[in-house]
Every structure is written in C-alpha cells, then in structure tokens.
Structure 1
Amino acid sequence: MAESMKGLHRSHRCAEVVNAAIGSEVTVMGWVQKRRNLGGMIFIDLRDRSGLLQIVFDENDIGTEGYEKAGKLRSEFVIAVTGKLEKRGGAVNDNLATGELEVRAESLRILSESETPPFPIEEHIQTRDELRLKYRYLDLRRPNLQRNLLLRSKVATAIRRFMDAEGFLEIETPILIKSTPEGARDYLVPSRVHPGSFYALPQSPQLLKQLLMCSGYDRYFQIAKCFRDEDLRADRQPEFTQVDMELSFVDMDDVIDVNERLLKYIFKEIGVDVQLPIQRMTWQEAMDRFGSDKPDIRFGMELQDVSEVVKGCGFGVFTGALENGGTVRGINAKGQGHMPRKKIDALVEVAKTYGAKGLAYLAVNEDGTYKSSFAKFFEEEQLKELVKAMDGEPGDLLLFAADKKKVVWDVLGALRLHLAKSLDLLKKDDFRFLWVTEFPLLEWSEEQNRFVAMHHPFTMPMEEDLDKIDSDPGAVRAQAYDIVLNGNEIGGGSIRIHQDDIQSKMFEVLGFTPEQAQKQFGFLLDAFKYGVPPHAGLAYGLDRLIMLMAGEDSIREVMAFPKVKDASCLMMQAPDEVDPKQLEELGLEIEKKEEKEEKEEK
C-alpha cells in the first residue's frame, strides 16, 4: 500500500548529502536500486538523478515494524527515508561520491510500489533498443542517460548565458508556418478553419529569422524545435533541436568569431579547453585532402592525387579513368602492409558500396618488394615514383581509386574513415574542430534535372564569382561556412543575400519564374523592399553537438523521447489512427493502400 509523504520534505538529493554534516538528520527520497539482507541489517542503494546513497535499516534504529517494511522493498520501489548521516561502518566505495557515507534509517515510507521492470535499471545494459524505447520512462532512469540529459540542460543554460552577454535576444518563432518545399520534405498539418489548406512544421526558422533582421532586432537566437520528414540515421531524427542565430551588419569573420567563443564557453562544461582560432579550410581543399566536406582531422591518411604519376602506365583501370576525364587518387594506410588478402578484399567491398568498380592496392613489403593487384602493369621506376608520391615506406598499404572525381572522393573519404575505425584511431575525447568555407553555391540534381542550392536559396555568392552565375553556375562559390567536429557537421551558416537583383538572379538559376518565387517566398521578398540590412547567421544541431560532447554514437542517447527508424514512437505508439470525426472536421478521407492500388490498376 502506497503511503503519503504528508509532513515530509526532502532535505537533500541522494548524492547531495556530501554537503551535510555527519550526525545530522536528513530526509532523502528516490528509487530502490538494490536490496541486501545480511540478517539483522538490511542495506538499500537508493537512487535519484544525483546518484546513489546507501541506506542502513537496523531494527534497533527503526523498530520492528519499520524493519519488516524494509524487508518488503524491491527494485524500483519509491521510498522516503529519514535518518542520521554517518560515516560508513563497512567497506568504502571509491566509485561513488557518497562512497564513504550512509544513512541509518529512523523512519521509512513506501511512496509507490513497482512491478519487476522488463530490464535492469543499470548503466550500459545490453538490452534491445526496441525494448528500451518502448519503456523509455524506465530507460531514462539509467545513470548514463540521466548524465546525458543533465549535460544537455547545462549546455542549453550556458548557451543562453553566453548569448545574452553578447547582446542576442531570444525570440520564439512559430511552429505552424507556410510550406516552402526547397529542401527536405515538410511535415504538413491540415487546417480545419481553411479546408484544403495546410500548415507546415518548420525545417528551420530560416526565413523568419531573416525577417527579424528586417525588423531591426540585430542579434537574434533561439533554441528551436525543427522537423524534417526524411529517412533516419544514427544522427538524424524527424524532430530535432537547433541553436539558431542571425546577426545584422556583420561579415563572415564576425560570425565565426562569436561562434568560436561560444564553443569555447560551452565546452568548458565538460572540461575541454577549445583552442582558438579554429582552423579554416576551403571546401575544395577539404574534398581534395579528405574526400569529404566534413573531414575528420583526428588522423592522417589524406588523399593524394597521383593522376600525373600514373598517366603513362599500362594499367587500363587508371588510364581509362583519366581518358574519361576522371582522376586517380590514393590513401596510405601506414604500417598496414601486412594486411591479409581477405581483409583487403573486404575493403574492396566497402569501396563498392560507395560507387567504386573496384579498389587497387599496393603493399610495400619490409624488404622493399611489392605485393600488388596492378604492379605487373608498371615498370620498376614507375612503381618507385608512385610509392614516393604516396609517401610510402616499407610496411605501408597503398589503396587507389580511379573514376570520376566525385566517386573517388566518396570512395576514399569513406574508406579512410572505415580504416580509422577498424584501427582504433578515433578517440572520442579528442575534440578537433574545423571551419569549412567557400562551398559551391549550387549542385546539379540529376533527379530534378536542374541546379539546386547546396545550402538554401538565400545564400550570398562570393562576390568575385558573380560574373560566372550565368556562364558557369556550377563554379560559383558561396559565402557559406560549416563548423565540423570530428567528422560531423555540427553547424552551418552563410552570409545572406540582401540585394534584390542578386536574389532574383539566384531564383532564375534555380529554375523559378518570378511568379513562382513570389508565390513561394513573397512574404520575404516583400519585406526586402522596405530596407533590409546585410545579415548572416548560423545554426547548430544541438542533439548532434551533445552526442559528441557525451561521447555517444547516436543522438537517441541524448534525447528524452526519440523516434525509431520509421519515425514512430514505440512508447506512445505514435503515429496512430484518429477518430473519424476528427478527419471529417478537417475534410480529409483516408484512402487504404489496397483501394489505391485497385484504382491504379483500373
């Protein structure tokens, strides 16, 4: 039978009793982690969000009735205990903040009983994700998840503190907005009041924060909920949180300066001193050196262009790629020349998943000889020149891809990461930041058969590239910048277009007619007619940032109630069917999949 806590007031959280005086009376409340009955004495590990505290039930202190009640306690019972704080009489636990202390119980109330949980409430348990997420409210009691959410709260508070000191105003933007489908797929919300019309949930507050700059607010920020109806990965969710900001009368250096200081400030929360300034690298350099626009710079294995070295060789794979306008590049897996053929074949299969037709290799043996898939097509001097170009030494494994430049970048960029993971080169507590700048303004979409904005249609081109926007739009660079941490893009932003003629030209290149641009973005374009300041911004993915700070591999470990891969919530069983009356009010009718297929067949 659950008891009331009437008249009781918690004096300390479990781990906070370290601040109380030995011999003082304390009242603590929480969940039973473990019970040990040693005959004559019962020991309980009591848990709350602060940690664990040992409670001792001795019949001489608590009385017969209280002792019998303590004997009924089981895991996850919620209890309140009042007693004296003392030094432990038995073994000290150096792994706990309260390891030298215990409370000798004088009274006990059982506030709530518990069924046996479907899995142990313990740190780093090996339980199926589906079970953990179905019972997420139990999963969230685990100490490692609680630490992650406490860290998230502390970082959010630190961000607000820093932004306030820098003159930013926290302004909320609406969740129900107009659909502007230039990017990922929107989540749509039907309107009851306007039948046949829909709101969209924001993919970001991008247009609204630009309007706030038009309104003169100068420095805005928001910790904003955003939504994208896209396929999930380990670091993606259908709803996520952005740290969003926009600034007026600034250039790229101003935005980078304030954000470097912000990163330094919040990383102090985990005891990491971020060294400023953070390294910068152009998009072109990042792709050429690492095959990625979000390179992990914690290790080497950089790409080397050997096209000139191999152009006269007799190996058709290399020469064929070069004749078709492609490239030949390689990476040097230092000290891996002993890798068995079976493992090299596995690397070939990895390369194929990223678009490669194959992977050429050359192992430099300790005696200076070679083991290779293509050496027979090379003269001895050509091989030596190739090894030299790759900075090869005895014991190294050289891996090569030959194809179109993008394929080679993708293949070798992925391969260097695969090797780094398998060779244990990636240390989670080694935080390496990088700014990537000068992205292409546009990229060609085979699916849409047109250029699309690499970031969004409001990104300002590099001024020295403006004359190429008609003649060679693919060569135009953007005044865009991403902040990368350990191979993860944690934030991105750009200088925005604030001139009418450049914005019109951008829409034209993207295939919008003036009428289409007005229909989709008219509210922004109209606002720009009334005096718009030069402005720029940046947004962080807060979930991804906290994931990296906490040393986790998935953002689900730093979100309270995440979704699974099909964007459903196993705990709430959402999405779910709704009452037909609700659909009727919205003027909606659900067409069953079978009915749709029958109509299509007819």
Structure 2
Amino acid sequence: MVRENIYRTVTCGELRESNIGDTVRVAGWVENIRDHGGVMFLDIRDHYGVLQVVVHNDEILKDINRECTVTLSGKVVKRDEDTINKKIATGYVEVHTEDIKVLGKCKNNLPFEVMTSTNTSEDVRLKYRFLDLRNPKVHNNIVLRSQIISYLRSKMNDMGFLEMQTPILSTSSPEGARDYLIPSRKHKGKFYALPQAPQIFKQLLMVSGFDKYFQIAPCFRDEDARADRSPGEFYQLDFEMAFATQEDVFAVAEEVLYDTFKKFSDKEVSKPPFKRIPYKESMLKYGSDKPDLRNPLLIVEISDMFEETDFAPFRKKTVRSINVPDCAKQSKKWFKRMEEFALSIGMKGLGYVKVNDDLTFDGPIDKFLKPGDREELIKRNGSKAGDVIYFIADTPDQAPVLAGQIRTEVANRLDLIDKSKFEMCFIVDFPMFEYDENGHLAFTHNPFSMPQGGMDALQNQDPTEILAYQYDIVCNGVELSSGAVRNHDLDIMVKAFDMAGYSEDDLKSKFSSLYNAFQYGAPPHAGMAPGVDRMIMLLTEEENIREVIAFPMNSNAQDLLLGSPGEVTEQQLREVHIKLR
C-alpha cells in the first residue's frame, strides 16, 4: 500500500499543462502575495521551483505572510494568456485553492528580502544563512556543489580509485600553515590537531599496499580569509597513486578536470594535455606562479639593457617590460590612473613609452634610451605603431611580482581577458630550496617532494638550482591544486632535510610515521588535491568562495549563525586541563 504524503502530492516545480484539471496538494514557502482587486495571487516556492496559486477568498489568507510555510490543495488551471510567465517552468499553469494551512509561522519583519539577499552585508546574510539559502541563486550554488561532488566521486571510482577516509583527529605538523589544536582530556597537557591535509595518511596508505586512493577531504587551517580562500576549513579532491610518475598524476588530473568543467559549464575548456610551464618561466612571462592565460599580455626581461644606464631607478635593477597593443590612444587620465595604481602597490612610479607611426618613442623614459635601444625594445616586445611599452624596475624578488600586478591591472582596465574560457595549465619545476631572510637554506614548498636528480642532485648541485617534482594546477589565475612526486627514499629524505637544517633525529621525532614506514618497502608514489570549493567558485562564476559553501565562516573566521568561536565553562576547561591566561 502506497501512503500519500499529508503535505504534498506534487512539488512546486513539476506541474505542467499536462496536469490541467488535476487536483493536487503542494507545500512550500510563500514567496510573494499580490492583491489584484479581490483576487489574491501567491507565489509558493520549494526546493524544486515556484508555483502561482490563486485565492478568491482573502479570508483564508489572514494568517499568511511572506516566508511562512504552507500546505494547500486545489485544481490545476491553465493561466490566462496575459498572465503566462515563460521565465519559470510552471509558468503556463496555476493552482486555484480554497484550502490553505500554515505549517510554520514567520515573523513579519524579515532581516532582508530573500530574493535580493545577495545585496545585503555578508555578516547579516551569514547570521540568517537559513534565509539567505532560500534565495534561488544561493540555493542553486549549493545544489550545483552537491552535483559536482557526486560527479567527482563517480569519476574517480570509474578510474579505479578507492574512496577511503583518513582521521580528523591527528597530530600537529611543524610544517605548513597554523594548526587548529584540540586539548586531550585523557592525556594531560597533550593536544590533537585537525589535519591541514591528509598528506601523511595518504602516503602511508600507499606504503600499506593500496594502489589508488581518493577522498573528498576536509582540511583545516587557521589562516586568514581571502576571496578565494575560506577561513577554517575547505574541501579538496585528494588523491594519491602508487608506482606513479608526475605524468601519471597529470593524466588523471587532466581527465577529471576537463570532464568536470565541460559537464558543468558552457565555456570553452583547455583540452588535455594542459600546458606545462616551468616555475621560472611563469614568474618571468606572467609575473606569477598562478598565471591567467586568458590575459594575452606577456612580460619581457630587459635588465641587460639598463646595467649602465644614466637613469638611476633602472641601473643594476631587474627591469621588465610589457607591451600593450593599441594603448597609445588612451587618455592622459587613463595613464594617470595606471600610475596611481602602481604607487598603490609599492612602486615609485610607472615609466612607459608610446610607439609612434615611424617607430620612434614618446614618453618619460625615451630620453634615457641609448642608440639602438628603441630597435631592441621593439624587437623583444614585438611592438608596433600605436602600442605602449610599460617598464617595471625593482629587486630580483619584487620586480616579477610588480610586473605581474601591472600586467593584470592593464588587462582588466582594457578588458583584454577572454571570459568565455577556462584556461588550465600545470606549473612545474619548482625550486626545492631557497635561502630565508636569515641566510639559511630552507624548503620552498613541500619538504617531502622528490628532488629532480635524486641523491646526485643533492650532493653535487647548487642547492638553489635543484628542482623538485612539485606542480600546481592553475585555472584562470586561480590555483586549483598543488601536488608532488613524493620522496619515498629514506636516504634521499635524510639528506634533503639535513640540507635544510634538520637532523635525522629531527626527522625521526617530527615525522616518525613516514620515517618508520619508509624502512619497510615504500613504493614510488605521487598525487595532488584539487580544491573543490575553488572549482565550484569558478564554475559558478562567483568572486567570493563563501558563495558556494552552505555554512561558511565570515572573513573574520566567525560562525555568526551558531556563534563560534564561543566561550566555554570553567568545568569544560578543567576537564581538558586548560587554564586561560
């Protein structure tokens, strides 16, 4: 026997002309109430859509207001021609009712209008997130999130990966971002930590004999928020493969990301194989290790041209140029605003020249150029009449970054970025080591990456010239993932950590699990972890990652809905042996 639901027999989004004449029961939220001279029109909304309901007896609406929940029954009727709404799926029909019942009352003074909630301040939206999520745009982002995660799971299963769960209560890591610590009740003075990533566990799974692992992994880092980073926690498609090379990982990432972006977007997506751009080349050409390849502007190295220049700001500096096609026609105000932007990011000014029809130059830098410089600049930059060449000069560390910011700003102001595309690339060949501010050799990224050249490179190369099998996936200037071929050889690991100032005893005590496991037959293994939240942010074309998370913290790492972080009782503190200072 099929039991009929007492609240609804159909959803608000499923009625069509084929249902005309049916008697149905629906339930949902009252989105709107309109009085048309004695005939009342209600828009009823649920998870599936919106339905127009007609009431001829306004007495039955005396307890009804917007955003209360109701159930009602009535006959499906075809709308009058002049009231058809082609914007919604149910727009050709309506339900006429004389039987409506309030299921959940709603206050009259809403904190904001649900349908325009995205125009409200973020803190108010997050405090009343349950209302904000009723906004169809916000609601649909979360529905899409569910669909994308479901697709990723299916895709990884089809590719032979085994979904596994790794612990949430873990140990503090001396590397990476700041941990979230959890005091132990049973072990006085000791702490668990929430995992920044399942890194150690997934490597141990490879040593344990599993071949291909994945999970939609929650990660916890006590970091400040950004537009593309949610504070506190985030999710990634974490995967690892045994007996795998860098190219094996790339092949999986290319198939998963290409298929996912093609399925959930109408935009053009980079076809595999994605471009491989060495880190050094990326910093030179794009001024970033997260390049937006939709931006056609390129940065050119010209430091050698100004080693002995009379122009002091360029002398013995790292100097870069950017050619901007057809930019000479811009107004004086435009150039002034670009200079103001340059000052705002820490530059002392922004030199440029305009290329004339006869390929001579106009501009503040022209008088400092030597004979032959103009021809050389045109050659290196591929300049033509009407172009502008911008100059950026600073220290070897700062010049690439500043040039990258100027490249992005110019492209945005001139609308040069092709927003109809998803441009993917791998950034590869990251340096293994760098010298820190104290002159000590340190790891640049993941210390557990395999150095290219193995032990021979560690013993015989300049440490700053050693490259690692580390890689990032970047899409439209957003880092989706980092990953690496892991260092599974204990001798190489001991040597690499020794170079970075860690003794073998440090390795044993701080990373005891890997140190022990790698003595028992570790396979070569590699993996990566594309960020799920960032993928969804790109696919929904949202500029803020919190728009694609159901219950995010605000930019100050506060949950305004539940009120965390919050205070706890003295008894709770005593139980975990904590005293507040």
What TM-score do the two structures reach when normalised by structure 1? 0.90
Is the 8 Å Cα contact of residues 54 and 103 (structure 1) preserved in structure 2?
A: yes
User: 1:239: which partner in 2?
Assistant: 233
User: 2:164: which partner in 1?
Assistant: 171
Is the 8 Å Cα contact of residues 294 and 417 (structure 2) preserved in structure 1?
A: yes
Letter in 2 for 1:374: I
User: 2:30: which partner in 1?
Assistant: 32
User: 1:259: which partner in 2?
Assistant: 253
SS in structure 1 at match of 2:479: strand
Per-residue CA deviation, residues 524-575 of structure 1 (Å, 9 max, x unaligned), is 1101111111110110111111000100001100011111222112222211
1:472 CA drift (Å): 1.5
Alpha-carbon distance in 1 for matches of 2:513, 2:118: 51
Alpha-carbon distance in 2 for matches of 1:452, 1:572: 41
1:380 CA drift (Å): 6.1
Is the 8 Å Cα contact of residues 26 and 82 (structure 1) preserved in structure 2?
A: yes
Choose the corresponding residue for 1:389, options 366, 380, 394.
380
Is the 8 Å Cα contact of residues 361 and 400 (structure 1) preserved in structure 2?
A: yes
Q: In the alignment, does 2:210 pair up with 1:220?
A: no
| Structure 1: segments with no counterpart, 5+ residues | 1-5, 60-66, 322-326, 592-602
1:349 CA drift (Å): 4.2
1:20 CA drift (Å): 6.0
Q: Which moved further from structure 2: 263-272 or 283-292?
A: 263-272
Q: Judging changes above 3 Å, is the alpha-carbon distance between structure 1 residues 351 and 181 closer, same or farther for their aligned structure 2 residues?
A: farther
Q: Which moved further from structure 2: 344-353 or 126-135?
A: 344-353
Alpha-carbon distance in 2 for matches of 1:192, 1:506: 37
Letter in 2 for 1:149: I
Alpha-carbon distance in 2 for matches of 1:20, 1:213: 56
Is the 8 Å Cα contact of residues 286 and 292 (structure 1) preserved in structure 2?
A: yes
Letter in 1 for 2:326: G
Q: Which moved further from structure 2: 331-340 or 523-532?
A: 331-340
Is the 8 Å Cα contact of residues 229 and 545 (structure 2) preserved in structure 1?
A: yes
Superposition map of 1:80-91 within 5 A: 80-89=71-80, 90-91=82-83
Choose the corresponding residue for 2:483, options 489, 493, 497.
493
SS in structure 2 at match of 1:47: strand
Superposition map of 1:398-547 within 5 A: 398-446=389-437, 449-463=439-453, 466-468=456-458, 471-547=461-537
User: 2:563: which partner in 1?
Assistant: 573
Supply the RMSD in Å over aligned alpha carbons: 2.3
Q: Judging changes above 3 Å, is the alpha-carbon distance between structure 1 residues 106 and 69 closer, same or farther for their aligned structure 2 residues?
A: closer
Q: In the alignment, does 2:150 pair up with 1:160?
A: no
User: 2:200: which partner in 1?
Assistant: 207
Choose the corresponding residue for 2:289, options 288, 293, 302.
293
Per-residue CA deviation, residues 481-537 of structure 1 (Å, 9 max, x unaligned), is 211100011011111111111111121122111111111101111011111111101
SS in structure 1 at match of 2:14: helix
Q: In the alignment, does 2:359 pair up with 1:364?
A: no
Q: Which moved further from structure 2: 37-46 or 212-221?
A: 37-46
Alpha-carbon distance in 2 for matches of 1:87, 1:453: 70
| Amino-acid identity (%) | 40
Per-residue CA deviation, residues 357-393 of structure 1 (Å, 9 max, x unaligned), is 4322112356755431221222464334323432222
What TM-score do the two structures reach when normalised by structure 2? 0.93
User: 1:62: which partner in 2?
Assistant: none
SS in structure 1 at match of 2:316: helix
Choose the corresponding residue for 1:113, options 105, 113, 134.
105
1:87 CA drift (Å): 2.5
Alpha-carbon distance in 1 for matches of 2:67, 2:100: 15
Is the 8 Å Cα contact of residues 60 and 99 (structure 2) preserved in structure 1?
A: no
Q: In the alignment, does 2:578 pair up with 1:588?
A: yes
Per-residue CA deviation, residues 412-464 of structure 1 (Å, 9 max, x unaligned), is 11111122222233354421111111111223332x65333333111111127
Alpha-carbon distance in 1 for matches of 2:357, 2:38: 69
Is the 8 Å Cα contact of residues 276 and 425 (structure 2) preserved in structure 1?
A: yes
User: 1:187: which partner in 2?
Assistant: 180
Alpha-carbon distance in 2 for matches of 1:136, 1:482: 34
Is the 8 Å Cα contact of residues 295 and 408 (structure 2) preserved in structure 1?
A: no
Alpha-carbon distance in 1 for matches of 2:370, 2:466: 42
Is the 8 Å Cα contact of residues 490 and 541 (structure 1) preserved in structure 2?
A: yes
Letter in 1 for 2:52: Q
Q: In the alignment, does 2:272 pair up with 1:276?
A: yes
1:207 CA drift (Å): 0.3
Choose the corresponding residue for 1:103, options 89, 95, 99.
95
Is the 8 Å Cα contact of residues 338 and 363 (structure 1) preserved in structure 2?
A: no
Alpha-carbon distance in 2 for matches of 1:19, 1:501: 73
